[in-house]
Amino acid sequence: MRRPALLACVIAALAATGIVVGCASAPSDAETQAAATAMLKASFKPRGQAGLDRLDQDETQKLCSEYAGKTLPKDVAARIERANLETIRWPADGTLVGDWKAGEKIAQEGRGMQYSDDPKLPAGANCYACHQLSPQELSYGTIGPSLYRFGKTRGYTDEMRKYAYGKVWNADAYSACTNMPRFGHKGILTEQQVKDVAALLMDPQSPVNK
């Protein structure tokens, strides 16, 4: 609560870096963005495993924030997807799917990466928060599409297994500025966990495909 002068500081800082802030006119979008980012950094404190570095945006986060609520230009989208595709670390052993039962547990688990979570425990992906998967689970969200019968409808092909693994590893590689986290890229899930989630989607024995 001791930050009444903060906004003034931000404006001063902007002025110092050569951005002229007009007194009478509304600030430009870029100026507001810069001020908002500065305000944000002064308004959070590190706690548990969540340090202030989590507010440092990478290029994807920056662009996706900038274009939020607007149409994402095709070339920007292509740029984001290309850059993210390059980050995908494909398994050295060439196996793209693991154990669907482990995948189901990961899909159910909501903990992980919050400052209230134990960083020693493996994180979940909480897929059910946003997607329908196994039909047995009725408590599923609708932010993402239903993935029920994911493999069955798309075919159990190498291409689809690669897509499932890659999508979980870095969703922005296939759909720029998606709501879906980049589980492998951001270190939320391990390679084995990504494989297990891919198995939940692609194993013919998985309840998802029943």
Partner 1 sequence: MSARRVILRCAALAAALAVPLAFGQGSTVDEIAKYRAALQDGNPAELWEARGEGLWKTPRGPKAATLEKCDLGRGPGIVKGAYAELPRWFADAGRVMDLETRLVWCMVALQGFTEADATKAPFGAGNDKKSDIEALVAYVSSESRGVPMNVSLAGPKEQEAYRLGQKMFYFRGGTHDFSCATCHGEDGKRIRLQDLPNLTTTAGARKAYTTWPAYRVSQGELRTFQWRLNDCFRQQRFPELIYGSDASIALTMFLARNANGAPFDAPAIKR
Partner 2 sequence: MTDRRLALDALRRTVVKAGGGAALAWALAAAGVLRAGHVSAQAWNKAIFETHGFDATLKALGIAKPPASKDVAFVSTPDIAENGAVVPIGVASALPNTESIAILIENNPNMIAAVFDIPPGTEPAISTRVKMGETSNVYALVKADGKYYLAAKEIKVTLGGCGG
Binding site for partner 1 (CB under 8 A): 1-4, 6-7, 26-27, 32-33, 35-37, 39-40, 42-47, 50-52, 54-57, 60-61, 64-65, 68-69, 105, 108-111, 113-116, 124, 126, 128-130, 135-143, 172, 179, 181-182, 186-188
Which listed option, partner 2, partner 1, none, makes contact with residue 39 (CB within 5 to 8 Å by class)? partner 1
CA-CA distance, 166 to 154, in Å (whole number)?
16
CA distance 11 to 17: 10
User: Pick from partner 1, partner 2, none: which does 173 bind, CB < 5 to 8 A by kind?
Assistant: none
Nearest distance in Å: CB 186, partner 1: 5
Give the angle subtended at the CA of 30 by the CAs of 26 and 34, to the nearest 5°.
100
Tokens (6 digits) for 207: 């309840």
Crossing angle of helices 29-42/6-16, nearest 10°?
Answer: 130
Q: Kindly tell me which of 76 and 130 has the beta carbon lying closer to partner 1.
A: 130
Contact predicate 111/209, CB 8 Å: no
Interaction partner, residue 82 (partner 1, partner 2, none; CB < 5-8 Å by kind): none
